[in-house]
Amino acid sequence: MEENARKRILCPLDPKHTVYEDRLAKHLKKCNSREKPKPDFFIQDINAGLKDETEIPDQLVPISSLSEEQLENLIKKLRKASEGLNCTLKDQIMSHPALHDALNDPKNGDSAAKHLKQQASILGNIENLKLLGPRRCFVEFGAGKGKLSHWVDIALKDAEKVHFILVEKVTTRFKVDGKHRKKNSVFERLQIDIQHLCLNKIPLLSKEKLPIVGIGKHLCGVATDLALRCLVETYAASCEERNEEPLAKRIKNDKTEKEINTLAKEGNEKNIPEKWTPVAGIVIALCCHHRCDWRHYVGKEYFRALGLGAVDFHYFQRMSSWATCGMRKTTLEASNSSTKRRDKQNDGSEEHDDGGCRITDDSPESLPGFLTGEEKKKIGHLCKLLIDQGRIKYLQQKGFSPALQYYTDPLVSLENVLLTALPNHSSSPETSA
């Protein structure tokens, strides 16, 4: 009776649960939704980019509400801006022996097999770029369960001094990074939005000063731009200002040249970069261009040079979903399930089977019929390519040699483009705008 007489109220920190009113003060001290102290590597909006003065207007009509003439003008703009772009990317579908047994496991379901094929190809591309070696730190953005880092660690076997930093903004179940107990590799998981991540403030990096390899599998839309700025502006630019001692010099302080040559022949010192740079390379499988954001987009200068702005970007970003959703039949069940998934989505945290596309009011089925399904699909691919080209130009300006390639078959994943970048030692990065 006494319990029933006590009043329960909504928790002011999270109205999804209630608490006894007379226990509120005590509850607030231990509530899981309370604001926790920010770590040193949290710096508000450090990777957000400059806020544009001409932001997208609050009320932009969906593509399905545009007139046929307005839509035709948008498509003309897109085609003119895309003139000269190579629309056929190189096939760079690879594999790696580290995943041989897992790929041939008869217990694999269809979804597991698709993820393994993608991870194997990303790993093969990392090795092909000579980034799979000792004395470096792999930073996995949008890490989810951490499976990509897991396979990188397996492939490296007993390589010396390898560190892994797994960045994920949400709590993740069934993580695999906790299973690693090798003495030569260290795993650290950071629960933080990439937008606020300052790599320079992470003790592991500031102490070891190892070159970073930025990796990611299906890094959604805006998360890719935040990760690129985090690596090449926030981290690399800051390290260069401090004029850190080259890695090759520090290695030679510990080992004679003869010892290094001996180890190289044995394969233990392979892939050590000749010239040290803060970011040794970037290998990111792209995803969900329809979830990009003009404020955070790294290719704004490229768009402006083409005479395009925030509103054009907004519609191209929306039309990019036609590449993966254009031929899909819309059913009530699919629409309902996609709405539920959309409510739960978090930037960079999902592992998609087919690119994670969602049926929206901008899907081709709800648009004027002057374009065929195949034409809409091509336009979607063109939008994705143009957005990615802005990223390519950005990396080139920052002193990198970037490339786009297909890393897996579209039957495995509709989101099958891999962005890679290596530092261009022959030229120094330009000053950040």
Q: Mean pLDDT across the stretch 106-128?
A: 95
Mean of pLDDT values over 123-142: 96
- The residue-averaged pLDDT of 138-146 equals 94
Q: What is the structure's pLDDT at 340?
A: 41
**29 against 382, higher pLDDT:** 382
Q: Is 259 within the bounds of a domain? A: no
Please list the helix, strand and coil fractions of the chain in percent, rounded to the nearest 5, in that order. Answer: 45, 15, 45
Phi, psi for residue 187 in degrees, rounded to 5: -110, 130
Q: Judge whether 254 lies within some domain.
A: no
- What CA–CA distance (Å, rounded) separates 263 from 261? 5
Q: What is the pLDDT of residue 417?
A: 96
Residues in the chain: 433
236 touches 277 (CB < 8 A): yes
Least confident stretch, 26-40, 160-174, 359-373, 403-417: 359-373
Lowest mean pLDDT among 60-69, 267-276, 392-401: 267-276
- The answer as to whether 21 is a domain residue is no
Q: Is the pLDDT of residue 29 over 50?
A: yes
> Cβ contacts of residue 153 below 8 Å, gap of 6+?
162, 164, 180, 182, 185, 187
DSSP string, 278-333: SEEEEEEEEE-GGG--TTT-TTHHHHHHTT--HHHHHHHHHHTTHHHHTTPPP-HH
Q: What is the structure's pLDDT at 344?
A: 40
Domain assignment present for residue 104? The answer is: yes
> Above 50 in pLDDT, residue 245?
no
Structure confidence by residue, pLDDT tens digits, 39-51: 999 999 999 988 7
- Residue 321 has a pLDDT of 93
| DSSP, residue by residue, 74-97 | HHHHHHHHTTT---SPEE-----G
**Tokens found for residue 71:** 């839509």
Distance of CA 15 to the CA centre of its chain: 32
Decide if 12 is inside a domain: no
Which residue is associated with the tokens 């690596």?
231
Q: What is the mean pLDDT of the chain?
A: 81
Query: How many of the other CB atoms lie within 10 Å of CB of 27?
Result: 17
Greater pLDDT, 294 or 373: 294
Whether 213 contacts 141, CB under 8 Å? no
Look at residue 333 and tell me whether its pLDDT is greater than 80.
no
Rounded to whole angstroms, the Cα distance separating 423 from 54 reads: 33
Domain that holds residue 208: 63-240+276-325+372-423
Lowest mean pLDDT among 3-7, 128-132, 303-307, 342-346: 342-346
Confidence band, pLDDT 50/70/90 cuts, at residue 55: low
Question: For residue 352, what pLDDT is reported?
Answer: 52
- Rounded Cα distance between 392 and 369, Å, is 34
Cβ–Cβ contacts within 10 Å for residue 188, how many?
Answer: 16
More reliable by pLDDT, 358 or 422 = 422
What's the pLDDT at 60? 84
> Has residue 301 got a pLDDT over 90?
yes
Does 112 have pLDDT greater than 90?
A: yes
Q: What is the pLDDT of residue 212?
A: 96
- The pLDDT tens digits of the residues spanning 402-419 come to 999 999 999 999 999 999
- Is there a domain that residue 170 lies in? yes
Q: Flag whether 301 is in a domain.
A: yes
Whole-number pLDDT of residue 49: 87
Q: What is the pLDDT of residues 74-96, one digit of tens each?
A: 999 999 999 989 888 999 999 99
Give the confidence band of 371 by pLDDT, cuts at 50, 70, 90. confident
Instruction: Please name the amino acid found at residue 255.
Output: K
**pLDDT above 70: percentage of residues in the chain:** 76
Residue 343, C-beta contacts closer than 8 angstroms, at least 6 positions apart: none
The pLDDT value recorded for residue 3 is 58
In a domain, 96, yes or no: yes
Cα separation, 249 vs 19, whole angstroms: 60
User: Tell me: the pLDDT tens digits for 197-230?
Assistant: 999 999 888 888 889 999 999 998 999 999 999 9
CB atoms within 10 A of CB 276: 21
Q: Which of 119-123, 178-182, 254-258 has the highest mean pLDDT?
A: 119-123
Can you give the CATH number for the domain in which 414 is found?
A: 3.40.50.150
**367: confidence class by pLDDT, cuts 50, 70, 90:** low
And the tokens for 256? 């004679």
Tokens of 224: 């890719």
Greater confidence (331 vs 252) lies with 252
In sequence order, the β-bridge partners of residue 138 are 164, 213
Find the range with the poorest average confidence among 100-109, 132-141, 159-168, 255-264: 255-264
Count of the separate structural domains present in the chain? 1
pLDDT-derived band at 424, boundaries 50, 70, 90: confident
Whole-structure pTM value: 0.80
Residue 131 CB partners (closer than 8 Å, separation 6+): 213, 271, 280, 281, 283
DSSP state of 197: B
Model confidence band, residue 105 (pLDDT cutoffs 50, 70, 90): very high
